[in-house]
């Protein structure tokens, strides 16, 4: 039997090939066939998840809630020392220096990354900005968000911190972070679904010993990770509760 | 155990208030007019057991409340209650939580040094296998407009 694996579409494009390398490594490590399918957007992936097409998902915190509480997925691991943080950035010459400098009518450029958008909208709350008095323009990638800012088509851009820091120097030199989240307890998590749950312990052991073998280390590097850390069911439940508190 | 606040911990002039909590505990609190603004981008996170005793706090909680972690763990969450907060607001909180529903609202919290900080707080019951295991509370930087509205409303409540 071949199992199906997918990755949250907010993965860093620089690490696209890394996920295929990881999938090859994982198949060898557990002796099972796994097909990796990547999506360009969240909606297409969510439809496939709703259709129960996947057995292994590297999920963003937002989707982890649905997968654990409604689809019977269980947590395996999270990347070590890698929490999800968000940045609201402006053009380098923007007169705004703190969030309170932003005004209603603000033009926002963002991707459809749900947890980044939620964190960034929370960071706008102190200056009474919300979906009601801002204009949101959705773009396909963070590079396009950056271009919208540089070209003056948007006042602020929402970024995943990791992606912002990996924008080219030329792009970043034309931007400036206005505010950055320091939440520290929200992160992506690798979840295993009901059809593959019998391999949970085997996969967990293989993932946690990756750093001890040369090949495993190379695979982790291709993903931009230093290693994995075990995630308990309670850790995930806590994160889901926390995400729930942020939704309104 | 809940101890009275100490003048040694205070910054600035203070007034004394005797607070009586819902469990009958009485505590003398010392209050100043010094506000500590909530930093941008931070979340204050804590967890309690079903009785409201603190079991987990994050670094932002420690910094904003001004207590060392060892004084917070095991203490009732109400040690942060500011005397300007009306009992009615907390009654609404607990009535909502008892129905296993999420509560949110604007809260003025009391620091160990007698100062205060305003937050937008959300509290959610932690249900595991149908059982209440405790509560998670997440607080974030509030809008000043909403804080002013809350101040006016709370002055009218007892």
Q: Contact A179/B122, CB-based, under 8 Å?
A: no
- From A180, A215, A237, give the residue that closes a domain: A180
| Tally of domains within chain B | 1
Residues of chain B neighbouring A122 (CB-CB closer than 8 A): 140
Q: What is the pLDDT of residue B158?
A: 65
Could you tell me if residue B29 is inside a domain? no
Coil, strand or helix at B127: strand
* A104 and A163 fall within a common domain: yes
Examine the domain organization and report whether A33 and A117 are in the same domain: no
Q: Domain of B109: which CATH number?
A: 3.30.450.20
B window 81-140, beta carbon within 8 A of A = 102, 104, 120, 122-124, 126, 128, 136-138, 140
Helix, strand, or coil here: B109? strand
Residues A121 and A175 in one domain: yes
CA angle A121, A127, A131 (to 5 degrees): 40
State residue B3's pLDDT score: 74
Last residue of a domain, one of A132, A165, A180: A180
Per-residue pLDDT tens digits for A41-84: 888 999 999 999 999 999 999 899 889 999 999 999 999 988 89
**pLDDT computed for residue B140 by the predictor:** 95
* pLDDT at residue A217, as a whole number: 96
| Helix residue ranges, H only, chain B | 59-65, 69-72, 87-98, 144-156
Assigned token pair, B33: 């007019």
Interface residues on A facing B, Cβ-Cβ cutoff 8 A = 98-99, 122-123, 125-128, 179-185, 234, 237-238, 241-242, 244-246, 248
Per-residue pLDDT tens digits for A123-157: 999 999 999 999 999 998 899 999 999 999 999 99
Put simply, whether B48 touches A (Cβ < 8 Å) is no
Q: Based on the fold, state whether residues A194 and A76 are members of the same structural domain.
A: yes
pLDDT at position B1? 62
Of B45, B59, B124, the CB nearest to A244: B124
Is B16 inside a domain boundary?
no
Helix (H) or strand (E) segment spanning residue A228: strand A228-230
Average of pLDDT values for A203-229?
A: 95
Chain B: closest CA distance from residue A189 (Å): 20
Across the interface, do B136 and A127 touch by the CB < 8 Å criterion?
no
Query: In this structure, are A200 and A156 located in the same domain?
Result: no
Q: Do B42 and A98 touch (CB under 8 A)?
A: no
Same domain, A78 and A192: yes
Say if B138 falls within a structural domain: yes
CATH number at residue A175: 3.40.190.10
Classify A15 as helix, strand or coil. Answer: helix
User: What confidence score (pLDDT) does residue B20 get?
Assistant: 87
Give the domain extent around B109: 34-156
ipTM of the complex, rounded to two decimals: 0.85
Q: Is A10 helix (H, G, I), strand (E, B) or coil?
A: coil
Q: Is residue B106 part of a domain?
A: yes
pLDDT at A140: 86
Contact A239, A221 (CB under 8 A): no
Give pLDDT, residue A73: 97
Parent domain of A6: 2-82+185-246
Token digits for B119?
């937050």
| Residue A14 in this model has a pLDDT that exceeds 90 | no
Mean residue pLDDT across chain A? 94
Q: What percent of chain A is predicted at pLDDT more than 70?
A: 100
**A90 plus A147 within the same structural domain:** yes
Q: At what angle do helices A114-124 and A61-71 cross, to 10 degrees?
A: 120
**Banded pLDDT at A161 (limits 50, 70, 90):** very high
Q: Are residues A115 and A233 in the same domain?
A: no
Residue A160 and residue A233 share a domain: no
Of B40, B47, B142, which is closest to A123 when you measure between CB atoms? Answer: B40
Q: Is residue B139 assigned to a domain?
A: yes
Considering the domain architecture, whether residues A71 and A9 belong to the same structural domain is answered as yes
Q: Let me know if residue B15 belongs to a domain.
A: no
Helical residues (DSSP H) of A82-232, grouped into ranges:
114-124, 142-150, 161-165, 169-172, 200-208, 214-223
Element (H, E) at A226: none
Q: Are residues A172 and A220 in the same domain?
A: no
Which residues of chain B fall short of a pLDDT of 50?
Answer: none
Helix (H, G, I), strand (E, B) or coil at B30: strand
Q: What is the CB neighbour count within 10 angstroms for residue B47?
A: 19
pLDDT above 90 coverage of chain A, percent: 84
pLDDT at A10: 86
Domain for residue B23, yes or no?
no
Considering the domain architecture, whether residues A95 and A136 belong to the same structural domain is answered as: yes
Whether residue B4 is contained in a domain is answered as no
List, for residues B52-93, the tens digit of each pLDDT value: 999 999 999 999 999 999 999 999 999 999 999 998 998 899
Which secondary-structure segment (H or E) carries A35? strand A33-38
What pLDDT, on the 0 to 100 scale, is given for residue A183? Answer: 87
């Amino acid at each position: 039997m071949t199992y199906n694996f997918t990755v949250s579409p907010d993965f860093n494009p620089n690490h696209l090939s890394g996920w295929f390398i990881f999938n090859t490594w994982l198949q060898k490590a557990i002796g099972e066939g796994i097909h990796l399918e990547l999506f360009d957007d969240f909606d297409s992936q969510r439809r496939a998840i709703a259709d129960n097409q996947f057995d292994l998902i590297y999920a963003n915190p937002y989707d982890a809630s649905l997968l654990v509480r409604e689809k019977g997925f269980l947590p395996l691991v999270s990347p070590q020392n890698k929490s999800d943080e968000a940045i609201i950035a402006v053009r380098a010459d923007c007169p705004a220096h703190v969030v309170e400098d932003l005004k209603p009518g603000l033009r926002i450029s963002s991707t459809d990354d749900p947890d980044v958008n939620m964190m960034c909208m929370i960071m706008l709350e102190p200056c009474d900005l919300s979906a009601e008095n801002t204009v949101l323009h959705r773009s396909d990638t963070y590079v396009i968000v950056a271009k919208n800012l540089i070209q003056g088509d948007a006042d602020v851009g929402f970024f995943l911190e990791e992606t912002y820091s990996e924008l080219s120097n030329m792009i970043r030199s034309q931007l400036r972070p206005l505010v950055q989240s320091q939440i520290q307890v929200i992160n992506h998590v690798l979840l295993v679904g009901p059809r593959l749950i019998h391999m949970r312990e085997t996969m967990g052991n293989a993932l946690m010993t990756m750093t001890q073998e040369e090949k495993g280390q190379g695979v982790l590097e291709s993903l931009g990770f230093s290693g994995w850390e075990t995630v308990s069911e309670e850790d995930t439940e806590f994160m889901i509760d926390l995400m729930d508190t942020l939704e309104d | 155990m809940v101890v009275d606040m100490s003048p040694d911990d205070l910054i600035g002039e203070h007034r004394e208030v005797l607070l009586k909590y819902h469990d009958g505990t009485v505590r003398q609190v010392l209050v100043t007019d010094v506000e500590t603004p909530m930093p941008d981008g931070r979340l204050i996170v804590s967890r309690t057991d079903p009785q409201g005793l603190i079991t987990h706090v994050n670094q932002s909680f420690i910094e904003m409340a001004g207590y060392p972690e060892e004084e917070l763990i095991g203490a009732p969450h109400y040690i942060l209650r500011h005397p300007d907060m009306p009992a009615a607001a907390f009654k609404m909180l607990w009535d909502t939580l008892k129905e296993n529903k999420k509560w949110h609202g604007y809260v003025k919290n009391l620091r160990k040094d007698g100062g205060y900080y305003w937050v937008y707080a959300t509290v959610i019951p932690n249900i595991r296998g149908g059982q209440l295991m405790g509560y998670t509370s997440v607080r974030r930087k509030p809008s000043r407009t909403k804080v002013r509205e809350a101040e006016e409303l709370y002055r009218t409540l007892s």
